[in-house]
Amino acid sequence: MDYLTFLQVLDTTVRFATPLLLACLAGLYSERAGIFDIGLEGKMLAAAFFSAAVAYTSGNVWIGLLAGVAVSVLLSILHGLASITFRGNQLISGLAITMLAGGMTVLVAQDWFKQGGRTPQLEGAARFEPITLPFAEAMRDVPVIGPLYYELISGHPILVYLAIAMVPLTWWVLFRTRFGLRLRAVGENPASVDTAGVSVVSLRYSAVLICGVLCGLAGAYLATALQAGFVKDMTAGRGYIALAALIFAKWRPWYALWATLLFGLFQALELRPDVIENVVGITVQSQLLGALPYILTVVILAGFVGKAIPPRAGGQPYVKER
C-alpha cells in the first residue's frame, strides 16, 4: 500500500468517525448523569432529515443545522420527560424515540418532497463544503508532510473540526468544572448530590439537552456534509455503534476519540477490503469488518481488556426521599 492510499484510508476514517464521535460524546454526557439513552440513533435520524429538508428549502445549511439540532433537542426533552420526570424505563423510552424517528422521517419526507422518502439533492450553500486550511495548496508537493496536511488534516467540513474540538472541551467540562463534578456525581450517587442541595433533576435534564445538541450535530453532518441529502434510514445503525464505542471507551472523552476512530477505520476498510489484502496478503470479508466494532465491545464487556464499569446509578430513576 502506497503512502497516498494510506492517507486516503485515514481521511475516510476521519469522515466516518465524525458522526460516531459526536453521538458517542452525546451518550457520554447522558450516561455520566445516569440516563441511559439508546435513542441516539433516532435523534440522529430525525436531525438528519430536518437539517436536509430545511437546508434545501431555505438554501442555507446553517439554518438547516439549527433545525436539525432543534428537533434532536425536542426528542431529548421527550426522553427526559419519560425517564426523569415520570421515572419511566429509560431503555424503552429511547427505543420508542428511535422507532418514532424511523417512521416519521420517511412519512414527512414523502409528504413534503414526493421522492420516495428522501430529500432532493443539496447543492451550493445548502450543504457544508470542505474547508481548505491555510498553506494546504502550497504544501501539497512537499514530501511526506505536504500530502499529510493536504489530504488528511485539510479539506474537511467544519463539523469535523468541531467534533474533534469537542473532545478536549468535554474532558475539561467533566473533569475540571463544578458542573462536571456534579454531573458525574449524579450518575454515581444522586442521593448525595441531592443532600448537598443540588437539583438532581436539573443536572440530568442538562445532560439530556447536551446529548440532544450533539446528536443534532451528528445527524446534520450525515445529511449536509458526509452526504448531500437525506435518504431512508441513513444513520444505518451509527447510533448503536456509538453506544458500542462508548462502552469500549469506558465512558471517557479521550478514549471515545480513539474508539470512534478505530470503528471509523473498520467502516473505511469495509469499503476498501483490497487494502487489507495488499498489506497482509489475505482476503477479509467486508461483513466481518462491519461486525468488528460489536465483537470488540463484547470482548470488553467480557472483561478481557479490563472491565467497563458504567455509572452506578445509570438507568435508575431517582426518587427524592422525604
Cα torsion 26, 31, 37, 38 to 10°: value is: 90
pLDDT band for 155, please (50, 70, 90 cuts). Answer: very high
Model confidence at 271: pLDDT above 90: no
Q: What would the mean pLDDT of 148-155 be, rounded to a whole number?
A: 90
What are the tens digits of pLDDT across the range 168-180?
999 999 999 999 9
Q: Where are the domains of the chain?
A: 3-129+136-237
Q: What would the mean pLDDT of 20-31 be, rounded to a whole number?
A: 96
Model confidence at 223: pLDDT above 80: yes
Entry field: residues in the chain = 322
- Read off the pTM: 0.94
Helix axes 40-58, 200-221, angle to 10 degrees: 50
What are the tens digits of pLDDT across the range 195-209?
888 999 999 999 999
Residue 29 near residue 172 (C-beta atoms within 8 A): no
Q: What would the mean pLDDT of 65-76 be, rounded to a whole number?
A: 97
Distance CA(284)–CA(61), nearest Å, equals 39
What pLDDT, on a 0 to 100 scale, did the predictor assign at position 182?
Answer: 95
Residue 42 near residue 104 (C-beta atoms within 8 A): no
Model confidence at 16: pLDDT above 90: yes
